[in-house]
Amino acid sequence: MMTEALTDLTAAKDGVETSTMVKSEDMSHAEQPIFNALGRDNSAAREKPNSGTKAPAAIAMMSTASDTESGIFSAESEMCVEHEYELDCFCQTDMKVICTHCAVVGSCQGHSVTPLADRVTAVRNQLVDACEKMQLQALRIEKFIEQTLTGKEKKLQVAASTARERVVAQVSVAREALEEEEQRLLEEVQQEEERVEQCLLTQRAHWAQAMASLARTRSRLVHTLTHAPDAQLVVNTSIQEIAERVEEAEGVGEPYDTEQLNMKPCCSDSHLLRGMWATAMLNGSNTHGLSSLKFDERTANPLLLLSDDRCSLTFLQKKPRQTPPYDPARFDSWPNALGSLSLSSGTHSWKLDVGHSAAFKVGVCYASLHRKGSGDEARLGHNDQSWVLSHYNGEYSFWHAGEKVMLQVATRPQKVGVLLDWPSQTLLFYEPESACVLHCAAYDFSAPLLPAFAVTDQSITIVH
């Protein structure tokens, strides 16, 4: 049907007056945006040739390279070069402007063809829709900038100001508390220093006087011994007098050391300061995790099964059939094992996954800790060679030199961490997930320390 319509259209166009073509050529820029986009400035000078005549050779020669290649229309005229008819149709198959003859008997025969005016209208509508969409999008962006971003900026300023005030307020409270605690501790240290100094002065004066008294008594006895003749010595010096002098000397007493002459370590102890120090150490960058820490298989008790990577210890309910060879480093009675690294400087931490173990110990010890026998000298925490946190029968405690300190643990930790700060000689146990301090104490470590472990229920694992 499109072919028939185009045929009728072609027949009707044979009698079209030249004025029609002139009128078409005089269309405004707004009505013919596609043709004006071609950049022709002499559209008013174009004339439609008579039907059946050929286009002038000059027009054909002025065609652009692309027009020549397509063979459809000339850049100097809106006329079909092949049929010399007005280009009033659009081939949607080849996406080009054609005349009606091109659609009926030309190269576009059988293609999808539509009137050029309809195509122009459709394109114009699409352009209008695109412009409207862009305009609406620009309005939305403008609204977003003016309302959302501006509002966000104001909220940001308020939130940032509030956050700064909160930080300053919290730090101010913490600083004030620390300054008060610092002042209190310094005063206590000063008072303790003055007390010990006074005790030392008193002792020094007392024993200086005693030495002077002893010196006088001894001088008299030496003078009598060296200067008195034998007869006078026997007559004037009685045994009772000598005994009195000896008793007088003995009355001076023997010097001995007392705790009153030592400064009490607790004078500088502060729960607040220890907690803040521990938090700073755990969150700071000066702590070095022992990424290469493993269990030393030479020290592991035969009741402990060591994993292939030497990072897990599992307690065996029964003794293994094959007893490991004798090793002086191995614990033969208590289910202990030591770490593979020796620590004598810096700040280090390590963590253990204790899982559901109901009985374990973790801490540090000297390398000189006894390994043989079932006595306390080889039992972690029951001698002055080891410091451990213990979990047994649902209770958490800290052990050293046989002394037990009960620990308050709100929830049972799945992991336990150990932090050793050698410069301050401080040992700290904590819960890694919350950085909650379980126990913290300072000691005078006199030798390098080894990580120490024990387990009598299920297993424990070093976490790297």
* pLDDT tens string 364-386: 999 999 999 999 999 999 999 99
Q: Is the pLDDT of residue 234 over 70?
A: no
pLDDT band at 23 (very low <50, low <70, confident <90, very high): very low
Question: Are the beta carbons of 86 and 13 closer than 8 angstroms?
Answer: yes
- In three state form, how does the secondary structure of 343-362 look? ECCCEEEEEEECCCCCEEEE
**pLDDT tens for residues 305-346?**
999 999 999 999 888 777 888 999 999 999 999 999 999 999
**pLDDT tens for residues 397-407?**
999 999 999 99
Task: Give alpha helix (H) positions in 95-149.
Answer: 100-104, 116-143
pLDDT band at 201 (very low <50, low <70, confident <90, very high): very high
pLDDT band at 233 (very low <50, low <70, confident <90, very high): low
pLDDT score of 237: 62
Q: pTM (2 decimals)?
A: 0.56
pLDDT score of 240: 67
Q: Is the pLDDT of residue 72 over 50?
A: no
pLDDT score of 344: 94
Please name the residues in contact with 341: beta carbons below 8 A apart, sequence gap of 6 or more: 290, 292, 293, 450, 451
pLDDT score of 283: 76
Q: Is the pLDDT of residue 74 over 90?
A: no
pLDDT band at 42 (very low <50, low <70, confident <90, very high): very low
Higher pLDDT, 250 or 337: 337
Q: Is the pLDDT of residue 115 over 60?
A: yes
Scan for tokens 């024993």, then name that residue.
207
Instruction: Please compute the mean of the pLDDT values over residues 90-108 and round it to a whole number.
Output: 93
Higher pLDDT, 17 or 449: 449
What type of residue is 214? L
* C-alpha to C-alpha distance for 97 and 412, rounded to whole angstroms: 83
pLDDT score of 3: 41
Higher pLDDT, 43 or 361: 361
Scan for tokens 């229920």, then name that residue.
457
Q: Is the pLDDT of residue 273 over 90?
A: no
Q: Is the pLDDT of residue 36 over 70?
A: no
Higher pLDDT, 271 or 414: 414
Task: Give alpha helix (H) positions in 349-410.
Answer: none
* C-alpha to C-alpha distance for 391 and 394, rounded to whole angstroms: 7
Please name the residues in contact with 402: beta carbons below 8 A apart, sequence gap of 6 or more: 376, 381, 382, 383
**pLDDT tens for residues 142-165?**
999 999 999 999 999 999 999 999
> Residue 298: exposed, middle, or buried by beta-carbon count in 10 A (0-12, 13-18, 19+)?
middle
Output DSSP code: residue 371.
Answer: -
- Three-class SS state of 34: helix
Please name the residues in contact with 396: beta carbons below 8 A apart, sequence gap of 6 or more: 389, 390, 406, 407, 409, 438
Instruction: Please compute the mean of the pLDDT values over residues 97-126 and round it to a whole number.
Output: 93
pLDDT score of 75: 39
> Percentage of residues in the chain with pLDDT exceeding 70?
81
pLDDT score of 33: 39
Instruction: Record the tokens describing residue 242, joined without a space.
Output: 């000598």
pLDDT score of 164: 94
Q: Do the strands 288-289 and 347-353 form a parallel or antiparallel pair, or are they unpaired?
A: parallel
Task: Give alpha helix (H) positions in 228-252.
Answer: 230-236, 239-251
- Find, among 338, 328, 377, the residue nearest to 361 by Cα: 338
Question: Are the beta carbons of 439 and 277 closer than 8 angstroms?
Answer: no
* C-alpha to C-alpha distance for 354 and 76, rounded to whole angstroms: 91
Q: Is the pLDDT of residue 46 over 60?
A: no
Instruction: Record the tokens describing residue 299, joined without a space.
Output: 């020290």
Question: Are the beta carbons of 276 and 288 closer than 8 angstroms?
Answer: no
pLDDT score of 277: 82
pLDDT score of 236: 62
Instruction: Please compute the mean of the pLDDT values over residues 125-134 and round it to a whole number.
Output: 95
pLDDT band at 15 (very low <50, low <70, confident <90, very high): very low
Q: Is the pLDDT of residue 409 over 70?
A: yes
